[in-house]
Amino acid sequence: MYTRIVIKVGTNVLTRPDGRLDITSISSLVDQIAALKAAGVELVLISSGAVGAGRELLPGRPDDGAVAQRQVYSAIGQVRLMELYRQLFAGHGLLCAQVLATKGDFRDDLHYDNMLNCFGALLRDEVVPVVNENDVVAVTELMFTDNDELAGLVARMLGVEALVILSSVEGLYDGAPDDPQSRLIPRVKAADQTVAAHVQERRTSGGRGGMATKLRIAAETARHGIPVLIGNGRRPGILATIQSGHWPGTEVRQ
């Protein structure tokens, strides 16, 4: 049974096909996290979705991919996203806290220690830390590849017992996920280089990364002794399966 975990949720779990926040999906996620908390699990939530939330609040703007436009979306959307989390967690009698980070925070010893101390205090007080990249100030060398990388760094910082990565697919397949002939790969060894041949290069819409990034981060994290569970965040009750020992997606272990 895991007692401390990091859960990372991707954009495509949190948003609808039209890019708007999917309140039903987010509410289900919070319900499942609350159940884990009630069972005594300490957890940190790495949440995407701020940029998508900003696009929803600023419709019709030309989106040319410029860093400045992404900063605007993130600055506005992060407020919307956190207010939604606040309301949903409050429904379970829980508090949540916003933690924004850049890659530089993990390179600077003082910033690293300050962040570690903050996480420790929040978990001690039963607060759910909701972590996202600080897109407002993160540019070029300060940017993470995506929130999978951020999740891996937080998992290693806290020495958690598992990292859960939720996306819009069930896990790693031996072919294209939408090919009926493809089969899910339930277990992967961190040192197994051959599985990379199965990874599709394309990204899911709305996100910066893809399965290649997830597999790379998962392998690196697993080599530090932290198993990584990759699964479909839209599968009903998926977080309840963490403690059952029957993960429906892909497990990456040392």
147 annotated among ligand-binding-site residues: yes
Question: pTM for this one?
Answer: 0.92
Band of the pLDDT at 201, cuts 50, 70, 90? low
For residue 42, the model assigns a pLDDT of 98
The two structure tokens encoding residue 45: 């939530």
* pLDDT for 62: 72
Least confident range from 6-10, 11-15, 207-211: namely 207-211
Q: What is the pLDDT of residue 154?
A: 98
Residue 177, pLDDT above cutoff 70? yes
pLDDT of residue 18 exceeding 70: yes
Higher-confidence position of 84 and 104: 84
Strand partners, 173: 184
Number of domains in the chain: 1
- How does residue 109 score in pLDDT terms, banded at 50, 70 and 90? very high
Instruction: Please indicate if the annotation marks 108 as binding a ligand.
Output: no
What pLDDT score does 21 carry? 94
Structure confidence by residue, pLDDT tens digits, 149-173? 999 999 999 999 999 999 999 999 9
135 is in an annotated binding site: yes
Confidence (pLDDT) at 114: 96
Mean per-residue pLDDT for 140-145? 67
Check residue 148 and give its pLDDT.
Answer: 93
Question: Is the per-residue pLDDT at 50 higher than 80?
Answer: yes
Whether residue 91 is predicted with pLDDT greater than 60 in this model: the reply is yes
Q: Is 48 annotated to bind ligand?
A: yes
Question: Which of the residue ranges 32-46, 47-61, 144-158 has the most confident prediction, judged by mean pLDDT?
Answer: 32-46
Give residue 70's pLDDT.
82
The rounded mean pLDDT for the chain is 90
Average pLDDT over residues 87-104: 96
| Domain range enclosing 181 | 4-253
Q: What is the CATH number of the domain that holds 162?
A: 3.40.1160.10
Higher pLDDT, 194 or 117: 117
**pLDDT, mean of residues 67-80:** 89
Q: How far apart are CA 133 and CA 38, in angstroms?
A: 27
Q: How confident is the model at residue 139 (pLDDT cuts 50, 70, 90)?
A: low
